[in-house]
Amino acid sequence: MTNREEIERRRTFAIISHPDAGKTTLTEKLLLYGGAINQAGSVKGKQSAKHAVSDWMDIEKQRGISVTSSVLQFNYAGKCVNILDTPGHQDFSEDTYRTLMAADSAVMVIDAAKGVEAQTIKLFKVCTLRHIPIFTFINKMDREARDPFELMENIEEILGIKTYPMNWPIGCGKEFKGVFDRNTRKVLAFSSDGRANGVKKVEETEAELGDAALDQLLTPYLHQQLVDEIELLDGAAEEFDLDRVLRGELSPVFFGSALTNFGVEPFLENFLRLTPTPLARVDSLTGEAVDPCRDEFSAFIFKIQANMNKAHRDRIAFMRICSGKFERGMEAYHVQEGKNIKLATGTQLMAQDRAIVDEAYAGDIIGLFDPGIFSIGDTLCTGKKKVEFAGIPTFSPEHFARIEQKDTMKRKQFVKGMEQIAQEGAIQIFREVGGGMEEVVVGVVGVLQLEVLEYRLNTEYNVEIRMQQLPFEQLRWIQNDPDTYVLRDLDLTSDTKAVEDMKGNRLLLFTSDWAIRWAETHNETLKLSEFGNI
């Protein structure tokens, strides 16, 4: 296969959802249909000792959750599929957001009984920032579900994106019999061997709408209801428009049940038909898009993970390949360091095994052994003409704590530990404007990261800390020119605090939305942003 053929068969996406909507189950079922596993239940059982990727930290084991995220790869119908797994737990971290930076599309899993929930809204916002296509899988149709028309409306209203049902559910709960495919105009009736947890693939029977056999397969009542609903749907305003899908303006919607496998395969087939090949990333030096199929290699680092395995005390830098081909042992120019480096070990993670990767192509994600040289947002490239990809945005933390070391003699280890952990992007460090490291405010996206920080400072750097949680809930970067814009004169609520990050960018910490609105309305020239740049 030529490089171009390899690259054009890649499909790289992330699955996003509110905890418990069924992201893990759907991921597992995609692996089942992709042939990567033979039986569902072998990848991850939340309560069991196995986790999808890593049990690299005791905290993960104690809580039975996966703090970090990984990449799963499989081949299906000639396509090479990369699923970026994001932590599904409530206490997710900035890594969850960053993972979306490496994806070319997103699949949003929604619980059919609940509709759009809080975490999905946050993740959705990041997807819209990049204008990537967003596909919707409405899950748990095997339970009592909200009316499908109502669910469409719910998505459109809350998320502000148009929807196009690719298929339509036939019944719900115990009566969930199948879906109507609007593209082929065929009914797909599902049946299983009665085993509730969908360990094996499901049987499908195909029939035309109006076919008498459907009265038997679905019941006459559900058949008639389907005919009526399809008529209504076809008369509805939204047309299918692939360009709008690719711009992230129209979300194709699929109905199904990941648990029973109903609708998983039709989803996978249609999704892979519509989701884009590796997207071109923009070189910030020239403002031009870098063709993924060009010969020269380029990639950026979007995540750094430490001590994933006690047996290897190392860091892994995850890189998204943007163009060309990776070969183990190749040399590439590390733009931020300004020198050539050897890309020695490419690893890919599947469950707890690390596989060594000899070659990989644009669209793929691989982990590189990192002796401490990489930072999030770094670019690697080959070829005469250097490229540099724009930095990855820093996402606004939502939990804050004041951190002090208990033993002031261990200042060096404390500073080193804090800086290294911040470099991995697990935490953000702030200090008084113009201040030192004596009093540090730490910001995190998920509150679990504070526990991880305390644990790691203790076990890896031998530093004990005192931690006081602070009432701030939000942060905004100040966009005004630091040389001319004076913070002293700002009119702010008394509980708003000005700080700076390690790069000297100035920010404001707020305890409520109300305090942000106060700052915005009482200071006309103040420019605040929800995202910073690393």
How many Å apart are CA 434 and CA 501, to the nearest integer? 10
Distances (CA, A) of 499 to 38, 453, 509: 52, 20, 7
Coil/strand/helix, residue 400: strand
Residue indicated by tokens 């360009």: 243
Size of the site for ligand G4P (CB under 6 A): 19
Asked if residue 17 binds ligand G4P (CB under 6 A), the reply is yes
Q: Give the bridge partners for 365, in sequence order.
A: 320
Order of strands, edge to edge, in the sheet holding 167-170?
167-170, 178-181, 186-191, 203-208
Pairing relationship of beta strands 399-405 and 440-444 according to DSSP bridges = antiparallel
Residue indicated by tokens 């009914």: 187
How many Å apart are CA 337 and CA 379, to the nearest integer? 10
Whichever of 254 and 389 has its CB closer to ligand G4P, that residue is 254
**What mask, x for binding ligand G4P by CB under 6 A, covers residues 88 to 127?**
x---------------------------------------
CB of 17 to ligand G4P, least distance (A): 5
CB 251 within 8 A of CB 164: yes
- Region near ligand G4P per CB under 6 A, out of 21-29, 77-85, 429-437, 512-520: 21-29
141 is in an annotated binding site: yes
User: Helix crossing, 148-159 with 118-130: angle to 10°?
Assistant: 60
Asked if residue 348 binds ligand G4P (CB under 6 A), the reply is no
- Region near ligand G4P per CB under 6 A, out of 125-133, 137-145, 412-420, 509-517: 137-145
CB 162 within 8 A of CB 251: yes
Q: Could you give the residue ranges of the DSSP H alpha helices within 168-263?
A: 213-218, 220-235, 242-246
Asked if residue 22 binds ligand G4P (CB under 6 A), the reply is yes
Whichever of 45 and 383 has its CB closer to ligand G4P, that residue is 45
Asked if residue 24 binds ligand G4P (CB under 6 A), the reply is yes
Both tokens assigned to 464:
């004990």
**Interface pick for ligand G4P out of 36, 259, 319, 452 (rule CB under 6 A):** 259
Q: What is the CA 97 to chain-centroid distance, rounded?
A: 5
Whichever of 143 and 294 has its CB closer to ligand G4P, that residue is 143
- Region near ligand G4P per CB under 6 A, out of 40-48, 60-68, 152-160, 244-252: 40-48
**Interface pick for ligand G4P out of 3, 19, 219, 505 (rule CB under 6 A):** 19
87 is in an annotated binding site: yes
CB of 359 to ligand G4P, least distance (A): 31
Asked if residue 41 binds ligand G4P (CB under 6 A), the reply is no
Q: Give the bridge partners for 187, in sequence order.
A: 180, 207
Whichever of 20 and 283 has its CB closer to ligand G4P, that residue is 20
Pairing relationship of beta strands 178-181 and 528-529 according to DSSP bridges = unpaired
CB of 123 to ligand G4P, least distance (A): 12
20 is in an annotated binding site: yes
Residue indicated by tokens 């730490």: 442
Asked if residue 45 binds ligand G4P (CB under 6 A), the reply is yes
Asked if residue 32 binds ligand G4P (CB under 6 A), the reply is no
**Interface pick for ligand G4P out of 98, 140, 182, 476 (rule CB under 6 A):** 140
**Torsions phi, psi of 392, nearest 5?**
-90, 135
CB 115 within 8 A of CB 140: no
**Interface pick for ligand G4P out of 23, 177, 182, 334 (rule CB under 6 A):** 23
Judged by CB under 6 A, the chain residues 239 through 258 that form the site for ligand G4P are 257-258
Three-class HEC string of 46-85: CCCCCCCCCCCCHHHHHHCCCCCCCEEEEEECCEEEEEEC
CB 356 within 8 A of CB 280: no
What string of DSSP letters covers 456-519?
HHHHHH---EEEEEES--EEEEE-S-TTT--GGG----TT-EEEEETT--EEEEESSHHHHHHH
Asked if residue 142 binds ligand G4P (CB under 6 A), the reply is yes
CB of 111 to ligand G4P, least distance (A): 8
Asked if residue 20 binds ligand G4P (CB under 6 A), the reply is yes
CB of 18 to ligand G4P, least distance (A): 7
Asked if residue 72 binds ligand G4P (CB under 6 A), the reply is no
How many Å apart are CA 104 and CA 90, to the nearest integer? 24
CB of 112 to ligand G4P, least distance (A): 8
Judged by CB under 6 A, the chain residues 261 through 300 that form the site for ligand G4P are none
CB of 172 to ligand G4P, least distance (A): 11
Asked if residue 21 binds ligand G4P (CB under 6 A), the reply is yes
CB of 459 to ligand G4P, least distance (A): 28
- Region near ligand G4P per CB under 6 A, out of 15-23, 93-101, 233-241, 398-406: 15-23
Q: Could you give the residue ranges of the DSSP H alpha helices within 315-369?
A: none
Asked if residue 200 binds ligand G4P (CB under 6 A), the reply is no
**Interface pick for ligand G4P out of 12, 25, 96, 449 (rule CB under 6 A):** 25
Both tokens assigned to 260:
């029973």
Known binding-site positions = 17-24, 85-89, 139-142
Q: Which residues bind ligand G4P (CB under 6 A)?
A: 17, 19-25, 45-47, 88, 139-140, 142-143, 257-259
Known binding-site positions for GTP = 17-24, 85-89, 139-142
